[in-house]
Structure 1
Amino acid sequence: MTRLTRIWNELVAPFFRRPRRLQVAALCCRNSETGCEILLITSRGTGRWVIPKGWPMRGRGSAGAALQEAWEEAGVRGRISDTAVGSYVYDKFQKSGLPVPVEVMVYPVEVEELADDFPEAGQRRRLWVSAGEAATLVAEPGLQRILRGLQAEAANHGRVRSSIETPGGPV
């Protein structure tokens, strides 16, 4: 690394970095005969595979906002844990083309119902896959890491149980 590059990276560039914004996401799970399945949806803009996520909502906690996003984007009704299973960071690009660093807190949802009629039904596709397959379909490395962790847990326990628990017991 040249001295000028090092000066730029260590001294100048940090002044141009924006602080991370927060988003919340719902990791929608169901247990099937083959193990834990994860619900992926397509993004509206690019059609890539993602999990339901969005910005925090006034009057709702992070988990509650994540559950609301699961309903609006995927038609999911279920029980959510107040404890995130992890977080990941990605750059969300604004219409201007400038990146905004975002940290996404991921909350597990035990899916109880999957509605056909929901707010964004005509704008997205849904797909149930194993945690391992989900990790290969999503683009964000941090989300891939979380999904691979669920895959490993499912391999050890046969089901993903401990991910959807609250201090009082399973949700």
Structure 2
Amino acid sequence: MKGKTLLVLRHGKSDWGTGHEDFHRPLVERGRLGSQKMGAWIKRQKLVPDAVLSSTAERARATTAAACKAMGVPLSKVRWDERLYAAPVEDLLAALADCPKSAHRVMVVGHNPGLEELIDYLNEGQIEVPDDGKVLPTSALAQLEMIEDWTKLEPGCATLVSVTRPGQVPDDLAVDDEPQGPVPDYFFTQSAVLPYRRIDGQLEIMVIASRKGTRWVIPKGVKEPELSLRDSAGKEALEEAGVRGRLDEEPIGHYDYKKWGGVCHVAVFPMEVSESVPEDEWEESHRERRWLEAGKARSMVDERALRKLIDKLAKRVGKR
């Protein structure tokens, strides 16, 4: 019998501040992007499933939609199963038993604690629990291999091959930043954050590794149509650098660079950083981030106009 693969994907990070009841709680943007990255990773690893089963809760639906888009799997192939919402192991096994017999690779999208209990039930041997106590945090994907038929899943019948978190997946797999076909005009309007802090009166600037780790940059991205330049910049600071703080109301300046056959225009907003989020909450924690003296940070970035903006910030902050 040909071996089978089970992909277990937990829904992305959801929004607890909406006031919606649990079933209707939506994803936050970080949850959508994390789910999209996992779908892109699945495609890159040539693990695209033959069948997808998903909980009908809003956050699971949105996770499935984002992952399937990145994998190139049409939503018409998804089996939306009410049994998967807050499901115990028994219901998860029952849903898997209803998979097409011809499916050799199946992905199930759902919720904890049921998904972690399913992995523990199927895995042969003891699972090593990470230091943060989470076997399957939000947007994480477990890969299990087995031989048994979907209707005959018994305790210990599978081997846990890997658990992959979105922070371990390189950003350049995300499809949003590398559009297929003609590039929309709005992609050329971007915003960035110049993160800074003062330690014993000394100004420090944060720089982060680029997506491919080949140079040093500041948090930057396409201005999303529904956000202002300033709000979009704050979003990039949290996702790319894992920092929050006070953003200036107006940009300190702009710089341009060439991409996609055109010129991107970037508005740069200073941010006095007040918080660095924990590693497991930082969407792009695979990147390196460094706090540097302003002159050192200036020397590490490529864009001449951005270097001038660092000088301008140093003069401004020095007068406070």
TM-score after normalising by structure 2: 0.39
Partner of 2:263: 101
When the two chains are superposed, the root-mean-square deviation of aligned CA atoms in Å is 2.1
In the TM superposition, 1:20-169 aligns within 5 A as: 21-92=188-259, 94=260, 99-117=261-279, 118-122=282-286, 124-154=287-317, 156-157=318-319, 161=320
**Residue 46 (structure 1) shift:** 4.5
Aligned 8 A contact 2:252 2:313 in 1: no
> Quick check: 1:26–1:69 contact (8 Å CA) kept in 2?
yes
C-alpha spacing 1:131/1:33, structure 2 compared with 1 (3 Å): same
CA deviation vs aligned residue, 1:118-165 (integer Å, no higher than 9, x gap): 11101x1000012211110000111011112223345x52xxx4xxxx
Query: Which residue number in structure 2 is paired with residue 3 of structure 1?
Result: none
Residue 33 of structure 1, CA deviation: 1.3
Q: Deviations over 1:68-108 (max 9, x none)?
A: 0000001011121220000011112x4xxxx4211110001
Partners in 2 of 1:71 and 1:60 — Cα distance? 15
Which structure shows the higher strand fraction? Answer: 1
| Other structure's SS at 1:133 match | helix
Cα separation, 1, equivalents of 2:246 and 2:212? 28
Measured in 2, the distance between the counterparts of 1:54 and 1:133 equals 23
1:104 aligned counterpart, secondary structure: strand
**CA distance in structure 2 between the partners assigned to 1:54 and 1:114 by the alignment:** 19
Distance 2:274 2:254 in 1: 24
SS in structure 1 opposite 2:231?
helix
Deviations 1:13-50 (A, max 9, x none): xxxxx9x9211001111111152111100111243100
Contact 1:131-1:150 within 8 A present in 2 as well: no
Q: Is the 8 A contact 1:72 1:119 kept in 2?
A: yes
In the alignment, the residues of structure 2 paired with residue 137 and residue 83 of structure 1 have an alpha-carbon distance, to the nearest angstrom, of 25
- Structure-2 separation of matches of 1:150 and 1:130: 12
Determine if contact 2:196/2:273 at 8 Å carries over to the other structure: yes
Aligned partners of 1:149, 1:60: CA distance in 2, in Å? 26
C-alpha distance in structure 2 between counterparts of 1:58 and 1:76, whole Å: 23
Amino acid at match of 2:278: D
Secondary structure of residue in 2 paired with 1:148: helix
Q: Which runs of 5+ in 2 are unaligned?
A: 1-184
* Structure of greater Rg: 2
Query: CA shift at 1:116, angstroms?
Result: 3.0
